[in-house]
Structure 1
Amino acid sequence: MTDAILVLEDGRVFRGESFGAIGETIGEIVFSTGMTGYQETLTDPSYKGQIVAMTAPHVGNTGINDEDFESRRIWVDGYIVRDPARVRSNWRSNRSLDDELAAQDVVGISGIDTRALTRHLRERGAMRGGISSASTNVDALLAKVTAAPSMKGASFLADVTTDETYVVPAVGDKRLTVAAIDLGIKGMTPRRMAERGIEVHVMPATTTYDEITAISPDGVFMSNGPGDPATTDHVTAVLKQVLEARIPYFGICLGNQVFGRALDLGTYKLVYGHRGINQPVQDLTTGKVEITAHNHGFAVDAPIEGTFETPYGPGRVTHVCLNDNVVEGLALLDQPAFSVQYHPEAAAGPHDAAYLFDRFVDLMQVSTSSTGGGL
Structure 2
Amino acid sequence: MQARLLLEDGTLFTGQGFGAEGGSVGEVVFNTGITGYQEVLSDPSYCGQIVTMTFPLIGNYGINRDDFESIRPYIHGFVVRRHETVPSNWRAQYTIDQLLKEYGIVGISDIDTRMLTRILRQHGTMKGILTTGNERIEELKERLGTSALLRDQVARTSTKSVFSSPGEKERIVLVDYGAKSGILRELTKRGCDVVVVPQDTTADEIRRLHPDGIQLSNGPGDPKDVPHAVETIRSLLGEYPIFGICLGHQLFALACGADTDKLKFGHRGGNHPVKELESGRCFITSQNHGYTVKEESVVGTELEVTHINNNDKTIEGLKHKTYPAFSVQYHPEAAPGPYDSSYLFDRFLEMIRDNKIANPERPRQAQLSETLRGELQYAQK
TM-score (norm 2): 0.93
Alpha-carbon shift at residue 4 of structure 1 (Å): 1.0
Letter in 1 for 2:65: D
Letter in 1 for 2:276: D
Q: Could you tell me which residue of structure 1 aligns to residue 105 of structure 2?
A: 106
CA contact (8 A) 1:161 1:183 kept: yes
Distance 1:90 1:244 in 2: 49
Letter in 1 for 2:156: D
Distance 1:180 1:69 in 2: 19
Q: Could you tell me which residue of structure 2 aligns to residue 233 of structure 1?
A: 227
Which sections of structure 2, spanning at least 5 residues, go unmatched? 365-381
Distance 1:188 1:295 in 2: 14
Q: Could you tell me which residue of structure 2 aligns to residue 133 of structure 1?
A: 132
Q: Could you tell me which residue of structure 1 aligns to residue 182 of structure 2?
A: 188
Distance 1:58 1:349 in 2: 18
Which residue, 215, 218, 234 being the options, matches 1:224?
A: 218
**Residue aligned with 2:290, SS:** strand
**Residue aligned with 1:323, SS:** coil
Structure number with the higher helix fraction is 2
Which residue, 268, 286, 293 being the options, matches 1:293?
A: 286
Letter in 2 for 1:302: E
Deviations 1:116-139 (A, max 9, x none): 000000000000001111225222
Alpha-carbon shift at residue 140 of structure 1 (Å): 1.3
Deviations 1:6-48 (A, max 9, x none): 1000000111010211111110000000000000100000000
Larger Cα-atom Rg: 2
Distance 1:230 1:83 in 2: 37
Distance 1:82 1:94 in 2: 23
Question: For the structure 1 residues 362 and 303, does the alpha-carbon distance in structure 2 shift closer, same or farther, using more than 3 Å as the test?
Answer: farther
Letter in 1 for 2:337: G
Q: Could you tell me which residue of structure 2 aligns to residue 355 of structure 1?
A: 343
RMSD: 1.5
Q: Could you tell me which residue of structure 1 aligns to residue 303 of structure 2?
A: 315
Alpha-carbon shift at residue 303 of structure 1 (Å): 4.1
Alpha-carbon shift at residue 86 of structure 1 (Å): 2.9
CA contact (8 A) 2:246 2:289 kept: yes
**Size of the alignment, in residue pairs?**
363
Task: Single out whichever of 81-90 and 138-147 deviates more from structure 2.
Answer: 138-147
Distance 1:254 1:195 in 2: 23
Question: For the structure 1 residues 371 and 150, does the alpha-carbon distance in structure 2 shift closer, same or farther, using more than 3 Å as the test?
Answer: same
Letter in 2 for 1:254: L
**Residue aligned with 1:130, SS:** strand
Task: Single out whichever of 44-53 and 329-338 deviates more from structure 2.
Answer: 329-338
Indicate yes or no: 2:147 matched with 1:159: no
Indicate yes or no: 2:344 matched with 1:344: no
**Residue aligned with 1:372, SS:** coil
CA contact (8 A) 1:5 1:136 kept: no
**Residue aligned with 1:309, SS:** coil
Indicate yes or no: 2:358 matched with 1:370: yes
CA contact (8 A) 2:25 2:149 kept: no
TM-score (norm 1): 0.94
Alpha-carbon shift at residue 373 of structure 1 (Å): 4.7
Alpha-carbon shift at residue 323 of structure 1 (Å): 1.0
Indicate yes or no: 2:208 matched with 1:209: no
CA contact (8 A) 2:214 2:241 kept: yes
Sequence identity (%): 44
Distance 2:116 2:341 in 1: 30
Distance 1:33 1:23 in 2: 26
Alpha-carbon shift at residue 169 of structure 1 (Å): 2.3
Task: Single out whichever of 142-151 and 192-201 deviates more from structure 2.
Answer: 142-151
Distance 2:210 2:359 in 1: 13
Alpha-carbon shift at residue 333 of structure 1 (Å): 1.8
Indicate yes or no: 2:20 matched with 1:21: yes
**Map 1:45-194 → 2, pairs under 5 A:** 45-150=44-149, 154-170=151-167, 174-194=168-188
Distance 2:257 2:149 in 1: 25
